[in-house]
Amino acid sequence: MSHFLQLALLLSLILLTAKAAGYVSVRFGQPSVLGELLVGILLGPSLLNIMGFSFVAHELSEVVQLFGELGVLLLMFLAGLEFQLDEMRENMRVAALAGTMGVVAPVLLGWGIGLLFGMTQPASIFLGLALGATSVSISAQTLMELKVLRTRVGLSLLGAAVFDDILIILLLSVFLAFTSGGASGGLEILLIVVRMTLFVGFSFLFGMRVLPWIIRQVNRLQISQGLLVATLITMLVYSVAAEYFGGLAAITGAFMAGLMLARTPEKDRIESGMHVLAYGLFVPVFFVNIGLSIDLRGFPTQALLFTAVVVLAAILGKWLGAGWGAKMGGLSRRESVQLGAGMISRGEVGLIAASIGMTNNLVGANEFSAIVVMVLITTLVTPPILRALFGREADREKEMPTEAEQGWASSAAPSKVEAVELELSS
Amino acid sequence: MSHFLQLALLLSLILLTAKAAGYVSVRFGQPSVLGELLVGILLGPSLLNIMGFSFVAHELSEVVQLFGELGVLLLMFLAGLEFQLDEMRENMRVAALAGTMGVVAPVLLGWGIGLLFGMTQPASIFLGLALGATSVSISAQTLMELKVLRTRVGLSLLGAAVFDDILIILLLSVFLAFTSGGASGGLEILLIVVRMTLFVGFSFLFGMRVLPWIIRQVNRLQISQGLLVATLITMLVYSVAAEYFGGLAAITGAFMAGLMLARTPEKDRIESGMHVLAYGLFVPVFFVNIGLSIDLRGFPTQALLFTAVVVLAAILGKWLGAGWGAKMGGLSRRESVQLGAGMISRGEVGLIAASIGMTNNLVGANEFSAIVVMVLITTLVTPPILRALFGREADREKEMPTEAEQGWASSAAPSKVEAVELELSS
């Protein structure tokens, strides 16, 4: 069987199981993303090996990985598209406080735990940093499904994630500059800050002044799916630029691209096209792939106590830290708890930190495994926690007729915002 | 730069240049596919190397290749979706005659040329077979763009391509069975015929009885992009099954999947979703990738006469052969010339045949290059030839207001068929 046929078969399998598991998950009152994550773990690399493909398993899983990475960009792009910049400005204070406190608390906790378990000073700081980085894609998807992304909590959460990303990357860079022992530490950090500022400033300027004009021109031309292709290119270029020039995560770039295009008159058509690409193919692959990359057999049974403490610190540190920040920023108690919960899930930045630690001999195999388990568990617990905390709002939404029930015959057209939210969940 | 960022950058580049070249091509009165093919050749592997990616060039181009293969499946699926089975039945006679004669003529010509240039008997037969296989995707795309796919010529052309695929694979199998010298030749061929028949029969039965029911059920469930995912899975499974169980080309399977879903009430929504996936991302990659895989520096300047004769035989043999068959089947002279021209372009089957010949020492480097050049030239000349031959029809279509010009305000709604054709070209 050729490589392509193997990929085609694997994609069919991933899409089928993802959508089936997502559907079952929804039937049990959970967000579909939980089912898709779990099915990935069940399929696992073990299953792929059983299938006995001649395609080197590594190559096949790399291709699936690339599909998944496109998926997370599309997901964050759509989250950005939900935003209005003025809404973002309104929630800036909450976002900054929640983002900062949500980094500080778990970093300090991790540092303390490291010292408590007899790790060296640098290793302990590093452990703290590995616990710090939120990955907001799972929460964004969950809030979209619960139709509460465009509430004050949802908007502040996405903003906080941007601050979180900037802060943790700054801290990691500072740390590595110091441990590498270069005297140029201060200069390097200044350089990073300048890079980030320049990137964000230039992206906003370009996105406000030039991009809408380009989109309008392309839309006028008779190019097959021209608007969608222009959007896709914008998203990809922003993502690459965020990582390459800005030193930020690629998903932050994709989020910014969405933010910029949210203001264009073509927004609704952009959204429906990107939604097809996202939920028809790439996003399910992303969620399943998170699970696929986890081999449960490799997990250590020793160091269970250490792992448990790390996981607990990661969850509580983020939840309480970000929640406290949100409260200071002016959210209600209930909203702060919701926002903090949305920050719990970790992702690729935590894993990247862990591997940096391994290659620099800062952490050993046990600590590495503990971080991986932490990323996994925080990812899995976030959707059900959010579902429980948003229960009231989400159930109220459920009483509204859904798009499918309404059909085309309905005369009571939903309002603009509701229509967009309905589409996102359909 | 990570592998993913490199892929993201490359995809941006491919999409940007493909759509720009396609647009320029249309401005010059040519189908956009011609521009996309040419830009691929210009980008070429040379350019990729210049970019100096650390990602092993081989791996990156393999991923782009996989994207392109998904693209050609989507393209053929959409072509199938344009069909009505009864229309296919009506044009069966023309399709069978044009498909058969379109294989016989170039195979005989190639055989003769081989003997004329002093090749051995088996090598000469093999050369003929390599000239036989049409790849209809380029023509299908061109006819869609010219809005003449659903004419008698377009429908017969797609049917003829199916016969062509079946016949050439049968002949290649017979040939290889004989040259491998096994006594079981006859039995093997019988087996291939049985496989093909069983696959086609089972696919039709499943597609007529079970598939519409599945699609209807999925459509009822509240699954994000459920209909599209079900369609995608159907297309992938049909493609894999066609190659793995049926011994046919994967694109024939994708075409059949489209044919089956053309009868469902969900057809229009399937079409608009698959159109986004196809023309928003994968199909441009397919066309550019055809060009990308060609390294013009590798082409031999010796054996120019041989190459020229082979290319001429490939074009004339197919054109006249398929055209004559179409005439016998009852098409008008003008229609027969059009159909024959649509069969000229060759594709992966020709290249696959060439590499089989190389590994079995049937052809040398010169013959191999000649076949590759033949595939390239037949692919490039087909869109402009079709454009010229369909000029009258296409220009008549052009006088109709386009979707963009019509806008939403127009009261004169286009008829169903026109609306679909407009969408395909939009």
User: With an 8 Å Cβ cutoff, are A276 and B276 in contact?
Assistant: yes
Q: Which of B65, B236, B279 sits opposite A224 (nearest CB)?
A: B279
Q: Which of B69, B224, B279 sits opposite A426 (nearest CB)?
A: B224
Which residue's structure tokens are 């441990």?
A179
User: Do residues B16 and A233 make contact, with C-beta atoms less than 8 angstroms apart?
Assistant: yes
- Does residue A346 sit in helix, strand or coil? strand
Q: Which of B220, B224, B404 sits opposite A222 (nearest CB)?
A: B404
**Rounded Cα gap, residues A164 and A255, in angstroms:** 14
User: With an 8 Å Cβ cutoff, are B224 and A425 in contact?
Assistant: yes
pLDDT tens for residues A161-202? 888 877 887 787 778 767 765 545 677 778 888 888 899 999
User: With an 8 Å Cβ cutoff, are B236 and A275 in contact?
Assistant: no
Does any domain span residue B388?
yes
Residue A405: pLDDT band by 50, 70, 90 thresholds? very low
Closest chain A residue to the Cα of B253, Cα to Cα: A5
User: Do residues A321 and A102 make contact, with C-beta atoms less than 8 angstroms apart?
Assistant: yes
Does any domain span residue B320?
yes
Does any domain span residue A389?
yes
CA B291 to chain centre: 15
pLDDT higher for B148 or A232?
A: A232
Closest chain A residue to the Cα of B221, Cα to Cα: A23
Q: What is the pLDDT of residue B418?
A: 35
**Rounded Cα gap, residues B166 and B189, in angstroms:** 13
Q: Which of A8, A224, A229 sits opposite B426 (nearest CB)?
A: A224
Q: Is the pLDDT of residue A219 over 50?
A: yes
Lowest mean pLDDT among A110-119, A398-407, B231-240, B311-320: A398-407
Q: Is the pLDDT of residue B254 over 80?
A: yes
Q: Which of B69, B236, B284 sits opposite A12 (nearest CB)?
A: B236
User: With an 8 Å Cβ cutoff, are A22 and B280 in contact?
Assistant: no
User: With an 8 Å Cβ cutoff, are A239 and B63 in contact?
Assistant: no
User: With an 8 Å Cβ cutoff, are A224 and B404 in contact?
Assistant: no
User: Do residues B171 and B221 make contact, with C-beta atoms less than 8 angstroms apart?
Assistant: no
Alpha helical stretches, state H, A180-303:
185-209, 211-220, 226-244, 250-261, 267-277, 283-292
What single DSSP character describes residue A54?
S
Maximum average pLDDT range among A249-258, A415-424, B413-422: A249-258
Query: Mind telling me how many Å the CA of B60 is from chain A's nearest CA?
Result: 10
The yes/no answer to whether this complex scores an ipTM above 0.90 is no
Mean pLDDT throughout B189-208?
A: 89
Look at the alpha carbons of A386, A388, A393, A397 in this order and tell me if their dihedral is positive or negative: positive
Mean pLDDT throughout A121-139?
A: 88
Residue B261: partners with Cβ closer than 8 Å, 6 or more residues away? B80, B81, B207, B211, B215, B231, B234, B267, B270
Residue B247: pLDDT band by 50, 70, 90 thresholds? confident
Q: Which residues of A touch B69 (CB under 8 A)?
A: 4
Does any domain span residue A413?
no
The mean predicted confidence, pLDDT, of chain B is 82
Residue B212: pLDDT band by 50, 70, 90 thresholds? very high
Closest chain B residue to the Cα of A231, Cα to Cα: B280
Tokens in use for B10?
A: 């490359």
User: Do residues A238 and A254 make contact, with C-beta atoms less than 8 angstroms apart?
Assistant: yes
Q: Is the pLDDT of residue A366 over 90?
A: no
Residue A290: partners with Cβ closer than 8 Å, 6 or more residues away? A37, A40, A68, A347, A379
Does any domain span residue A419?
no
Query: Mind telling me how many Å the CA of A14 is from chain B's nearest CA?
Result: 10
Q: What is the pLDDT of residue A94?
A: 93
Q: What is the pLDDT of residue A426?
A: 33
CATH number at residue A314: 1.20.1530.20
Q: What is the pLDDT of residue B358?
A: 76
Residue A17: pLDDT band by 50, 70, 90 thresholds? very high
Q: What is the pLDDT of residue B37?
A: 81
Supply angle C-alpha B395, B396, B398, rounded to 5: 60
Tokens in use for A109?
A: 């906790």
pLDDT higher for A204 or B356?
A: A204
**Rounded Cα gap, residues B314 and B321, in angstroms:** 10
pLDDT higher for B80 or A333?
A: A333
Q: What is the pLDDT of residue A342?
A: 92
User: With an 8 Å Cβ cutoff, are B5 and A239 in contact?
Assistant: yes
Query: Mind telling me how many Å the CA of B311 is from chain A's nearest CA?
Result: 29
Q: Which of B4, B220, B222 sits opposite A66 (nearest CB)?
A: B4
Q: CA-CA distances (angstroms) from residue B1 to A8, A245, B13, B409?
A: 28, 11, 16, 48
Q: How many domains does chain A have?
A: 1
Q: Which of B5, B276, B404 sits opposite A273 (nearest CB)?
A: B276
Tokens in use for A395?
A: 């159930």
User: With an 8 Å Cβ cutoff, are A222 and B284 in contact?
Assistant: no
Choose among A60, A74, A33: nearest CA to A290.
Answer: A33
Query: Mind telling me how many Å the CA of A295 is from chain B's nearest CA?
Result: 22
Q: Please report the DSSP string for B363-421 in residue order.
A: S-HHHHHHHHHHHHHHHHHHHHHHHHHTHHHHHHHHHSPPHHHHTTT-SSPPPHHHHHH
Percentage of residues in chain A having pLDDT higher than 90:
40
User: With an 8 Å Cβ cutoff, are B12 and A222 in contact?
Assistant: no
User: Do residues B240 and B73 make contact, with C-beta atoms less than 8 angstroms apart?
Assistant: no
Q: Is the pLDDT of residue A55 over 70?
A: no
pLDDT tens for residues B102-147? 999 999 999 999 999 999 999 999 999 999 988 888 888 888 888 8
Chain A to chain B Cβ contacts (< 8 Å): 154
Lowest mean pLDDT among A275-284, B171-180, B336-345: B171-180
Percentage of residues in chain B having pLDDT higher than 70:
83
Q: Which residues of B touch A277 (CB under 8 A)?
A: 276-277, 280-281
User: Do residues B367 and B127 make contact, with C-beta atoms less than 8 angstroms apart?
Assistant: yes
User: With an 8 Å Cβ cutoff, are B220 and A404 in contact?
Assistant: yes
User: With an 8 Å Cβ cutoff, are A220 and B404 in contact?
Assistant: yes
Q: What is the pLDDT of residue B54?
A: 45
One-letter amino acid for residue B337 of the chain: V
Closest chain B residue to the Cα of A422, Cα to Cα: B224
pLDDT higher for B338 or B181?
A: B338
CA B281 to chain centre: 17
Mean pLDDT throughout A97-107?
A: 95
Neighbours of A3 (CB within 10 A): 18
Q: Which residues of A touch B224 (CB under 8 A)?
A: 19, 22, 32, 279, 425-426
User: Do residues B280 and A229 make contact, with C-beta atoms less than 8 angstroms apart?
Assistant: yes
Stated length of chain B: 426
pLDDT tens for residues B265-286? 999 999 999 999 999 999 999 8
Does any domain span residue B119?
yes
Q: CA-CA distances (angstroms) from residue B264 to B84, B96, B140, B155, B268?
A: 11, 26, 22, 19, 9
Q: Is the pLDDT of residue A248 over 90?
A: no
User: With an 8 Å Cβ cutoff, are A240 and B8 in contact?
Assistant: yes
User: With an 8 Å Cβ cutoff, are B239 and A273 in contact?
Assistant: no
User: With an 8 Å Cβ cutoff, are A240 and B5 in contact?
Assistant: yes
Q: Which of B221, B232, B244 sits opposite A23 (nearest CB)?
A: B221
Does any domain span residue B419?
no
Residue B414: pLDDT band by 50, 70, 90 thresholds? very low
pLDDT tens for residues B49-89? 555 554 455 677 788 889 988 998 998 898 888 777 777 78
Residue A102: pLDDT band by 50, 70, 90 thresholds? very high
Residue B392: pLDDT band by 50, 70, 90 thresholds? low
Q: Which domain holds residue A269?
A: 3-400
Mean pLDDT throughout B353-374?
A: 80
Q: Which residues of A touch B66 (CB under 8 A)?
A: 3-4, 7, 63
Supply angle C-alpha B29, B32, B35, rounded to 5: 95
User: With an 8 Å Cβ cutoff, are B276 and A66 in contact?
Assistant: no
User: With an 8 Å Cβ cutoff, are A5 and B250 in contact?
Assistant: yes
Q: What is the pLDDT of residue A38?
A: 84
Query: Mind telling me how many Å the CA of B151 is from chain A's nearest CA?
Result: 22
Q: What is the pLDDT of residue A385?
A: 93
Q: Is the pLDDT of residue B1 over 90?
A: no
Q: Is the pLDDT of residue A63 over 80?
A: yes
